[in-house]
């Protein structure tokens, strides 16, 4: 699983460098996210701008990461491609996650989108 991490003041931005987040990579994604967020502060922004396909396993993996972070650390999503945004909308998970149209600046405050 190809991820990159950018530590900013008050936020940890994790970028997914894969086109698909599906059953084939869900377990690797969860493990990579656990490692990437091990030292995270309170805010983790997951940049999904390169992901063009997300199935139920991929969605479950994102939810699993959110649960792993617990209540002290928020998982926010950013830069969802139209097909991925559609999955979040259809499953009503867009009401659970804070979703940014693009990766926010470190000083941005969260907003639902």
Q: Which tokens is 86 given?
A: 């559609």
Structural domain boundaries of the chain? 3-100
Pairing outcome for strands 20-21 and 3-8:
unpaired
Note the pLDDT tens digit of each residue in 22-73. Answer: 999 999 999 999 999 997 777 999 999 999 999 999 999 999 999 999 988 9
pLDDT at res. 106: 53
CATH of the domain spanning 3-100: 3.30.750.24
Predicted structure pTM score: 0.88
Task: Please say whether the beta carbons of 49 and 18 come within 8 A.
Answer: no
* Total H helices, total E strands in the chain: 3, 7
């Amino acid at each position: 699983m190809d991820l990159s991490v950018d530590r900013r003041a008050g936020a940890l931005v994790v970028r997914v460098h894969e086109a698909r987040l599906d059953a084939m990579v869900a377990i690797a994604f969860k493990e990579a996210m656990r490692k990437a967020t091990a030292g995270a502060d309170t805010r983790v922004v997951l940049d999904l701008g390169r992901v063009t396909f997300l199935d139920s396993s991929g969605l479950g993996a994102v939810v699993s990461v959110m649960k792993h972070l617990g209540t002290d650390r928020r998982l926010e999503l950013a830069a969802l491609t139209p097909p991925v945004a559609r999955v979040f909308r259809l499953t009503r998970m867009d009401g659970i996650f804070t979703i940014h149209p693009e990766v926010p600046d470190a000083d941005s405050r969260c907003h639902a989108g």
